[in-house]
A = this chain, B = another copy of it.
Amino acid sequence: MTSSSTYHHGDLPNALRAATAELIGEVGPTAFSLREVARRAGVSHAAPAHHFRDKGGLILAVAIEGFERLSDALGSDDILAIDDPVDRLAAQGRAYVEVAVGNPGHFAVMFRPELYPDRDTGDAGAVAFGRLTDTITLIRDQLAPDLDVMKGAMFVWSMVQGLVGLSAVLGEDGKFEVGDESLEAEIGELIEQMSHMAVHGLISAGT
C-alpha cells in the first residue's frame, strides 16, 4: 500500500514498464525519453538502470510483454473453442488487431530490433507465431493438403501486421482516407473482408 517512505517504490519494474508503454503510445518510440519515464514514475533519472540495464533494456521488456499479450490473445480459451479452423483463423485475425489497437505502445516497439541493439525478444515472438501456424496446420489437414504451412503463416501474418502498421499511418478514429476516394470502412469490417480473402487465398494455394 502507500508506503510512508518513498525511498523504496514497491514494484518499480512494473510501474516503469507501464509508464514506458504509455509514453511510447503518446509520443512514439523515438521521442520517448528515459528521464521522462522516471519522472512519471516518481523516481530519479537513474533509477530505471537498476532494473533494466539501459534504455534499450526497458524497451525490450515492453516488446516482450507485448508478444506475451499477443500470444495470450491468439491462444485464448474462446479462440481454441472454435472448431472450424477457418473461423478460428478469422477470430485470430480480429484478436490480433484488437491487441494491436489496444496496446499501441507495445506494438510500436515489437518489430523493431534496432531499438534494443545486441538483444532480442527470445522466443516470445516465435510463440505468438506458433499460434498462427497451429491454425494454418489445421486448415492444411482439413482443407488444403498441399498448403505450405510456413508460407501460409507468413502470408496471414504479413497481411495482419501490414494492416496494423498502415492503419497507424493512414487515419485516425479507425477510418482511412487515401487518395481521392476515401476508404470509409471501419477497421473491423476491413479485417473481416481481408480474412475472407486470405482464407480463400490459402485454400486455393493448397489444392
A residues at B contact (CB < 8 Å): 27-31, 111-115, 117, 123, 125-126, 129-130, 133, 148, 150-152, 154-155, 157-163, 165-166, 168-169, 176, 178-179, 181, 183, 185, 190, 193-194, 196-202, 204-205
Contacts and interface: CB of A to CB of B under 8 A. Distances in A.
Nearest to A182: B150
B160 A114 contact: no
Q: Is chain A's binding surface mostly helix, strand, loop or mixed?
A: helix
Contact of A162 (B129, B159, B179, B197): B159
Contacts of A166: 111, 154, 157-158, 161
A155 B161 contact: no
A116 B103 CA distance: 22
